[in-house]
Structure formats: C-alpha cells, structure tokens
Amino acid sequence: MRIGIDLGGTKIEGIVLDDSGKERARVRVATPTATYDATVEGVAAVVRELEATVGARCRVGVGHPGAISPATGLIKNANSTQLNGHPLDRDLKRALGRDEVRLSNDANCFAVSEAADGAGRGWPVVFGVILGTGVGGGIVVEGKPLTGAQAIGGEWGHNALPLPRDDERPGPACYCGRSGCVESWLSGPAFQEQFAKKTGQKLRATEIADAARAGDREAAESLELYCDRLARSLANVVNLIDPHVIVLGGGLSKMDALYRRVPELWRNYIFSEPDRIVTRLQPPLHGDSSGVRGAAWLWPA
C-alpha cells in the first residue's frame, strides 16, 4: 500500500491507497505553521496515524509547495515560506525512519492524478492548475510530469500578468520579491482583497461568484475581470505548450463561471484561429483529492 500526503498552506491531507487504487483511509488536519520543524512533525504524525489505521507500513509520497532545488537539495519557491531553504526530503525520512520518501511539487501531483484517471485522461498534454492560496501549475506529457532543468516546469504563477492595462501596472507585490506576478492577481487571497478594496465587503472567492450569479453588479464586474486576467494568463500557457486539456484545481476551481467565460475570452489572446481553439478547460474529476492521490501515485503499483 502507498500513502499520499498533500502538504498545503492551511491543511495536511493524507490518503492510503491499496495496490488496486482503492482508498483505505484518509486524514485531514490543519497545517502546523509556527515553525518548519512543526510542519515536518505534522506530516509525520499524519503518516503514523494512517499506518495505524490500516495496520501496515506503507510507501510514502508527499506533494508540497515549491520544489527541491537540483543545485542545493533544499526547498525553494514555496509560498509556504517556512519550507524554503530546508531539506524537506531528508528531514521527512529522518522523522519517519525511512530510507526513501518520494516528494514532488503539489501542482505536479495534481496534474499527474488528473492526467492518469481524471479530467485529462487519454490526452497527450495536460496542464494542471492550482488556484488557491497560491497559483501553481504542472505539465504532464504522455503521462509523465515535466519537471525541467531548474525543477520549475509549469510555474506559470510567477510570470508577469500578460498584456497589463495601465491600472494594472506595476501590479501587487508578490512574496517572491517581484510585482505583478500572475499569482499576485489570481490567488484566492488576491481576488478577495481586490473585491474588498472595490466594495468594502469581505467575501470568500466562491461567495463573490455566488453573489455575481445572484445578480450583484459589483460582484459580476469583479468576476468578469478575474476571468479576463485568467484568460490572458492561460493564453500564454497555450501559446507555449499547447495543451489538449487544462484542468483547474484548488478552491477557486469551484467557481463554475470560469469554465464558460474563460474559453470565450482566451480566444482574444491565443495565437491561433479563434474558431479553432480546441484546448479544453475542465474542472477536476477528483476534486480536492487529486493532489493527495497524485502524491500516492509517486509510488506506481
């Protein structure tokens, strides 16, 4: 059996899959964020609880924000910034007493899961998108994740927002040290802050979408602008890797309007005949479970 762990900014989710891919156990807890060591112990505690539940020692895969630098072996680029600069793989092996724990970027895990038996199943090139606390992405080609020379394959969230309007320059500050990154516009907290600044209302992203659907004019305007920014940003991805399917994940993937409006808008930005854009924009088949399932499948059957 194999364990998958999805290490997020707010929660750690773990799952046990048997060799047929059937779920045997699941745990979800809040992520301890006070210190790096607390986060490592939080992951280890979830693994121990899952193994106690199924009564067996399991192989462990972990999906995490950021990437392990090929140059240093340390985590880099994680929006859960307490992870950066630490040897997460080595520390987890020590905490769990294992010779091997397999790690991969959380968006790569999501993309692998959806490409294997989810919304991207059967398509050669799948781009998996995380729209949540941060903005991430993973590329899967013929069933295999494309990691890249710097281990940053798919990190579209730290490109600049394409075709910025005058009022979008220089853009919000991003935790990476630059301004105007896609993540600084399209993450859940960013969208909510933009709406609060415009209206004085503090709503969650999905609540803004609900208000727009109910006829709230300001919510509809904010959602339309979000869709346009997402369309511009994904058009750059299509122009570069030309995926057959883009699967959205993360909390904002639950906003139904994205799947209708973004493909209408990206026709204005993709370098192809507007009436012949066949790339599909899909919700995740496995929902919130895709990341944790993909982490488990870091250990093939």
Strand partners, 15: 4, 26
Output the six-digit token pair for 205: 């992203």
Distance between first and last Cα of the chain: 8
Q: Are 225 and 161 in contact (CB under 8 A)?
A: no
Q: What is the spatial distance between Cα 77 and Cα 157, in angstroms, rounded to a whole number?
A: 11
- Name which of 263, 284, 266 is nearest 107 in CA terms: 284
Q: Are 248 and 284 in contact (CB under 8 A)?
A: yes
Q: What is the spatial distance between Cα 78 and Cα 85, in angstroms, rounded to a whole number?
A: 10
| CATH number at 121-284 | 3.30.420.40
Q: What is the spatial distance between Cα 238 and Cα 295, in angstroms, rounded to a whole number?
A: 26
Please give the pLDDT value at position 44.
98
Strands 135-141 and 125-131 come out as antiparallel
Please give the pLDDT value at position 301.
65
Contacts of 172 by beta carbon, 8 Å cutoff, 6+ apart: 179, 180, 184, 185, 190
Please give the pLDDT value at position 83.
96
User: Each residue of 150-182: pLDDT tens digit?
Assistant: 999 999 999 999 999 999 999 999 989 999 999
Report the b/e string of 133-167 with b at 16+ CB within 10 A: bbbbbbbbeeeebbbeeebebbbbbbbbbeeeeee
The mean predicted confidence, pLDDT, of the chain is 95
The secondary structure element, H or E, covering residue 225 is helix 217-241
Domain 2-108+289-296, what architecture? 2-Layer Sandwich (3.30)
Q: Are 247 and 108 in contact (CB under 8 A)?
A: no
Output the six-digit token pair for 71: 């140059």
* Structure-model confidence comparison of residues 276 and 117, the more confident one: 276
* Greatest Cα-to-Cα distance within the chain, rounded to the nearest angstrom: 60
Q: How far is CA 93 from the centre of its chain?
A: 24
Please give the pLDDT value at position 190.
97
Tell me what the mean pLDDT of segment 267-277 comes to.
95
Please give the pLDDT value at position 197.
96
User: Each residue of 63-102: pLDDT tens digit?
Assistant: 999 999 999 999 999 988 999 999 999 999 999 999 999 9
Q: Are 151 and 145 in contact (CB under 8 A)?
A: no
* CATH 3.30.420.40 segments of the chain: 2-108+289-296, 121-284
Percent of the chain, pLDDT > 70?
100
Please give the pLDDT value at position 289.
81
* Ramachandran angles phi, psi of 110, nearest 5°: -60, -45
What pTM, to 2 d.p., does this model score? Answer: 0.87
Q: Note every long-range contact of 8-11, with CB atoms under 8 Å and residues 24 or more positions apart, other chains counting.
A: 8/65, 8/80, 8/106, 8/132, 8/133, 8/291, 9/33, 9/65, 9/79, 9/80, 9/133, 9/134, 10/133
Q: What is the spatial distance between Cα 288 and Cα 110, in angstroms, rounded to a whole number?
A: 9
Query: Is a pLDDT exceeding 90 seen at residue 220?
Result: yes
pLDDT band at 57 (very low <50, low <70, confident <90, very high): very high
Lowest mean pLDDT among 162-171, 185-194, 286-295: 286-295
Please give the pLDDT value at position 290.
87
Name the CA radius of gyration of the chain, rounded: 19
What interhelical angle do 217-241 and 205-213 show, nearest 10? Answer: 120
Please give the pLDDT value at position 241.
97
User: Each residue of 123-140: pLDDT tens digit?
Assistant: 999 999 999 988 999 999
Query: Is a pLDDT exceeding 80 seen at residue 288?
Result: no
